[in-house]
């Protein structure tokens, strides 16, 4: 198959890496790709991944058999709809299904309507009404920008002042149009867990569990980011937890194949759960692979990813049969100094080849590019995703951090405690 993958981050590098390993993959394009994807695919610059008309032209010119949409923005913009209307096979939901991520109010209503356990909430498009609700409910409380905010539009407020400031920031435009409606939720307590599923034909084929680390600094301190590290599987998830999370994902998949959904959902559905004392509760849905969760999930996948994505895109759930490696995986994100705030780019990166020479280590590029001399440069806030497999989580974690030490660029920052809270989370959950 000739395949095009839309996106430029670590998630997309992991996807093209996994697709390239398939004997069924003929030509592989990354649009626009990054400094790492060009090693396994042909990078295509100059195309806007939200310009569906231009993408249709590219697909026709290059005889593309399958388009895989990585990020959320083109999904919400309806790129999958236009491509499908033009006869292109697409892995990714249509614009209506993508509202599960594109609008938190839509997502919460969907959970309510389909008996998916979640936090109590209310949504507001009026600032004063939102502030009044915050004062009525008290803290702790969670304030969320309704729309897409690159993973940064969620504020967990431990006091009323913080919650009020979050509401003010949303309506003042801190998150653009995404913050002109806010969702205010009760604050749940417990460790978090991600469970993703390949969804089509009203069925959910669940993947392995993973746990992301959103905060910028060690000890879960600092602002939220797009994700600073992740590991898989999550060892303190019990059999009952897993059954409950699977049920939530299956309820969601079944609902996504019924009206008012115009087409059954065809892509990845990401379930973000909190493991509370009363059982798992859905925090959020995403309409695509997580980032950086993908970087630890796909290296553990033993089934041919081309086969899976083709079956999903065609709406054929019976052709999906997932097998997984028993080896755990740990990913540590190397970021630019200052991330998630302002940061500089263009710093020379050294040592990636040395890191990948270690057993079980793979480095996915999140924000990199090459200059005319072929040097690898930083080109984003999150720069590299250092992934290691091991016979145990402890071994995988040690390998990942050994690899991190071999990679250098000016201003390199990363958390040193990815996976280190496992014991604490287990004790808290018990």
For tokens 């996976």, what's the residue?
Answer: 419
pLDDT reading at 389 higher than 90: yes
Q: How many Å is the Cα radius of gyration of the chain?
A: 21
pLDDT band for position 151 (50/70/90)?
low
Helix %, strand %, coil % of the chain (to 5) = 35, 25, 40
DSSP state of 38: G
- pLDDT for 178 equals 77
**What pLDDT score does 429 carry?**
41
- How far is Cα 104 from Cα 145, in angstroms, rounded to an integer? 8
Length of the chain: 430
Instruction: Locate 231 and state its tokens.
Output: 């590991």
- pLDDT value of position 148: 82
pLDDT over 50 (residue 427): no
* CA 326 vs CA 30, 72, 93, 118: distances in Å: 30, 30, 30, 30
What integer is the mean pLDDT of 385-400? 97
Q: What H or E segment, with its residue span, contains residue 212?
A: strand 211-212
Residue 287 is predicted with a pLDDT of 97
Q: What is the largest CA-CA distance in the chain?
A: 60
Can you read off the two tokens belonging to residue 275? Answer: 């493991």
pLDDT band at 175 (very low <50, low <70, confident <90, very high): confident
Measure the CA–CA gap between 41 and 65, rounded to whole angstroms: 15
Which run of H or E residues covers position 424?
Answer: helix 422-429
List the structure tokens of 103: 């609008």
What integer pLDDT is reported at residue 174 of this predicted model? Answer: 80
Domains annotated on the chain, with CATH: 2-92 (3.40.50.20), 126-180 (3.30.1490.20), 192-319 (3.30.470.20), 329-420 (3.90.600.10)
């Amino acid at each position: 198959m000739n395949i095009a993958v839309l996106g430029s981050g670590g998630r997309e590098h992991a996807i093209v890496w996994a697709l390239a390993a398939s004997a069924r993959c003929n030509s592989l394009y990354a649009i626009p790709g990054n400094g790492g994807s060009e090693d396994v695919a042909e990078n295509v610059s100059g195309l806007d991944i939200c310009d569906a008309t231009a993408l249709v032209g590219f697909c026709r010119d290059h005889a593309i058999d399958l388009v895989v949409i990585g990020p959320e923005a083109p999904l919400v913009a309806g790129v999958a709809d236009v491509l499908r209307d033009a006869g292109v096979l697409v892995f990714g939901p249509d614009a209506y299904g993508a509202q599960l991520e594109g609008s938190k109010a839509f997502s919460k209503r969907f959970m309510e309507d389909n008996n998916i356990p979640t936090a109590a909430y209310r949504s507001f498009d009026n600032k004063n009404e939102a502030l009044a609700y915050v004062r009525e409910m008290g803290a702790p409380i969670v304030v969320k920008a309704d729309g897409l905010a690159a993973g940064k539009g969620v504020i967990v407020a431990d006091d009323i002042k913080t919650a009020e400031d979050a509401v003010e920031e949303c309506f003042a435009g801190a998150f653009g149009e995404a913050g002109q409606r806010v969702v205010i939720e009760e604050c749940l307590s417990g460790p978090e867990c991600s469970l993703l599923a390949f969804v089509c034909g009203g069925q959910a084929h669940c993947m392995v569990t993973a746990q992301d680390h959103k905060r910028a600094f060690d000890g879960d301190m600092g602002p939220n980011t797009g994700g600073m590290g992740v590991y898989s599987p999550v060892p303190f998830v019990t059999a009952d937890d897993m059954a409950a999370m699977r049920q939530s994902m299956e309820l969601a998949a079944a609902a996504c194949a019924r009206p008012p959904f115009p087409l059954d959902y065809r892509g990845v559905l990401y379930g973000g759960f909190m493991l509370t004392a009363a059982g798992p509760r859905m925090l959020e849905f995403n309409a695509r692979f997580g980032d950086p969760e993908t970087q630890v999930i796909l290296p553990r996948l033993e089934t041919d990813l081309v086969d899976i994505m083709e079956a999903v895109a065609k709406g054929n759930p019976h052709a999906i049969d997932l097998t997984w490696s028993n080896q755990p995986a740990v990913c540590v994100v190397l970021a630019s100094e200052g991330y998630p705030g302002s940061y500089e780019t263009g710093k020379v990166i050294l040592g990636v080849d040395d890191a990948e020479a270690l057993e079980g280590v793979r480095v996915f590029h999140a924000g990199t590019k090459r200059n005319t001399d072929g040097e690898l440069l930083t080109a984003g806030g999150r720069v590299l995703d250092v992934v290691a497999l091991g016979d145990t989580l402890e071994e995988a974690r040690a390998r990942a951090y050994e690899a991190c030490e071999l990679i250098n660029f000016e201003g390199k920052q990363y958390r040193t405690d990815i996976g280190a809270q496992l014991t604490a989370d287990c004790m808290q959950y018990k």
